[in-house]
Structure 1
Amino acid sequence: MRRATAAKRVLSAMEHYDIVIIGAGLAGSLAAIALAREGHRVALIGPRPAIADGRTTALMDQSIEYLKTLGIWDDVAPLTAPLVAIHIIDATKRLLRAPPVNFRAAEVGLEAFGHNIPNAPFLEILEKHEASLPTLERVPVAATVFDFGEVEVRVGLEDGRMLTADLIVGADGRRSAVREAADIETFTWSYPQAAVVLNFAHELPHQEVSTEFHTVSGPFTQVPLPGDRSSLVWVQKPRDAEETLQLPLDVLSRTIEDRMQSILGKVTVEGKPQSFPLTGMTARRFGKGRVMLVGEAAHAFPPIGAQGLNLSLRDVMTVAELVGSPTGRRLPADTGDRFDSRRRIDIVSRTASVDLLNRSLLSSFLPVQAMRAVGLQLLSSAGPLRGLLMREGIHPGSALQSIKESLRETFTRKTA
Structure 2
Amino acid sequence: MPPEPVASAPPAPAARPGPRFEVAVVGAGAAGLAAALALAREGVATALIGRHAPVADGRTVALLDGSVRFLDALGAWPALRPHAAPLAELHIIDDTGSLFRPPPARFRAGEIGLDAFGWNLESARLVTGLRDRARAAPGLTLFESDAAGCLRGEAAADLTLEDGRAVSARLVVGADGGRSPLRAASGLKVRDWSYPQAALTTLLAHALPHRDVSTEFHTRQGPFTLVPLPGGHRSSLVWVAAEGTARHLSGLPDAGLAAAIEDQAQRLLGALRIDGPRGLVPMRGLAVESPVAHRLVLIGEAAHVFPPIGAQGLNLGLRDAAALRDAVLAALRDRRDPGGRAALDGLGRRRRRDAGLRTGAVDALNRSLLTELLPVDALRGLGLLAMTTIGPLRRLVMREGVLPRLGAPELMRAKGAKGARRRI
Residue identity matched to 1:333 = G
Which residue of the partner structure matches residue 222 of structure 2? 218
2:389 matches 1:373 = no
Query: Conserved in 1, the CA contact under 8 Å of 2:55 and 2:124?
Result: no
Give the 3 Å change call, closer, same or farther, for CA 53–39 of structure 1 in structure 2. farther
2:365 matches 1:361 = no
2:185 matches 1:181 = yes
Listed one character per residue, the Cα deviations across residues 32-73 of structure 1 (whole Å, up to 9, x for unaligned) are 111111111211111222743431000111111111111111
Which residue of the partner structure matches residue 111 of structure 1? 115
Gaps of 5+ in 2: 409-424
Aligned equivalent of 2:250, options 245, 254, 259: 245
Aligned equivalent of 2:301, options 296, 307, 319: 296
Q: CA deviation at 1:329?
A: 7.5
Which residue of the partner structure matches residue 200 of structure 2? 196
Which residue of the partner structure matches residue 8 of structure 2? 5
Aligned equivalent of 1:22, options 22, 26, 29: 26
Which residue of the partner structure matches residue 230 of structure 1? 235
Partner of 2:355: helix, strand, or coil? helix
2:318 matches 1:308 = no
Which residue of the partner structure matches residue 390 of structure 2? 382
Higher relative contact order (CA 8 A, sep 6+): 2
Aligned positions of 1:122-137 closer than 5 A: 122-137=126-141
Listed one character per residue, the Cα deviations across residues 133-163 of structure 1 (whole Å, up to 9, x for unaligned) are 1321221211111101010001011111121
C-alpha separation in 2, matches of 1:101 and 1:7: 53
Question: Which of 16-25 and 212-221 deviates more?
Answer: 16-25
Which residue of the partner structure matches residue 69 of structure 2? 65
Query: Conserved in 2, the CA contact under 8 Å of 1:55 and 1:118?
Result: yes
Residue identity matched to 2:222 = G
Aligned positions of 1:45-194 closer than 5 A: 45-49=49-53, 51-194=55-198
Listed one character per residue, the Cα deviations across residues 248-301 of structure 1 (whole Å, up to 9, x for unaligned) are 101111211111111111111113311011000001111112111110000010
Q: CA deviation at 1:220?
A: 0.2
Aligned equivalent of 1:266, options 261, 265, 271: 271
Q: CA deviation at 1:354?
A: 0.7
Question: Which of 318-327 and 55-64 deviates more?
Answer: 318-327
Question: Which of 18-27 and 172-181 deviates more?
Answer: 172-181
Q: CA deviation at 1:10?
A: 2.1
Give the 3 Å change call, closer, same or farther, for CA 398–108 of structure 1 in structure 2. farther
Listed one character per residue, the Cα deviations across residues 310-330 of structure 1 (whole Å, up to 9, x for unaligned) are 111110111000111866885
C-alpha separation in 2, matches of 1:50 and 1:113: 25
Aligned equivalent of 2:402, options 371, 394, 400: 394
Aligned positions of 1:343-358 closer than 5 A: 343-358=351-366
2:342 matches 1:337 = no
Aligned equivalent of 1:31, options 35, 47, 60: 35
Listed one character per residue, the Cα deviations across residues 93-120 of structure 1 (whole Å, up to 9, x for unaligned) are 1222121100001111111111001011
Aligned-residue Cα RMSD (Å) equals: 1.8
Give the 3 Å change call, closer, same or farther, for CA 96–71 of structure 1 in structure 2. same
Q: CA deviation at 1:91?
A: 0.5
Q: CA deviation at 1:175?
A: 1.3
Q: CA deviation at 1:78?
A: 0.5
Give the 3 Å change call, closer, same or farther, for CA 231–6 of structure 1 in structure 2. closer
Residue identity matched to 1:261 = Q
Partner of 1:281: helix, strand, or coil? strand
Listed one character per residue, the Cα deviations across residues 363-397 of structure 1 (whole Å, up to 9, x for unaligned) are 12111111111111111211221111111111214
C-alpha separation in 2, matches of 1:194 and 1:332: 38
C-alpha separation in 2, matches of 1:3 and 1:189: 24
Number of positions where the alignment pairs a residue of Structure 1 with one of Structure 2: 400
C-alpha separation in 1, matches of 2:144 and 2:9: 23
Question: Which of 192-201 and 262-271 deviates more?
Answer: 262-271
Could you state the TM-score of these two structures normalised by the residue count of structure 1? 0.92
Q: CA deviation at 1:2?
A: 1.4
Gaps of 5+ in 1: 401-416
Query: Conserved in 2, the CA contact under 8 Å of 1:292 and 1:339?
Result: no
Query: Conserved in 2, the CA contact under 8 Å of 1:389 and 1:399?
Result: no
Residue identity matched to 1:252 = L
Give the 3 Å change call, closer, same or farther, for CA 223–185 of structure 1 in structure 2. same
Q: CA deviation at 1:5?
A: 3.4
C-alpha separation in 1, matches of 2:375 and 2:189: 35
Give the 3 Å change call, closer, same or farther, for CA 161–308 of structure 1 in structure 2. same
Residue identity matched to 1:195 = A
C-alpha separation in 2, matches of 1:36 and 1:125: 17
Could you state the TM-score of these two structures normalised by the residue count of structure 2? 0.91
Residue identity matched to 2:382 = V
C-alpha separation in 1, matches of 2:140 and 2:147: 17
Query: Conserved in 2, the CA contact under 8 Å of 1:391 and 1:398?
Result: no
C-alpha separation in 1, matches of 2:40 and 2:77: 17
Residue identity matched to 1:10 = A
> What is the percent sequence identity of the aligned residues?
45
Question: Which of 40-49 and 326-335 deviates more?
Answer: 326-335
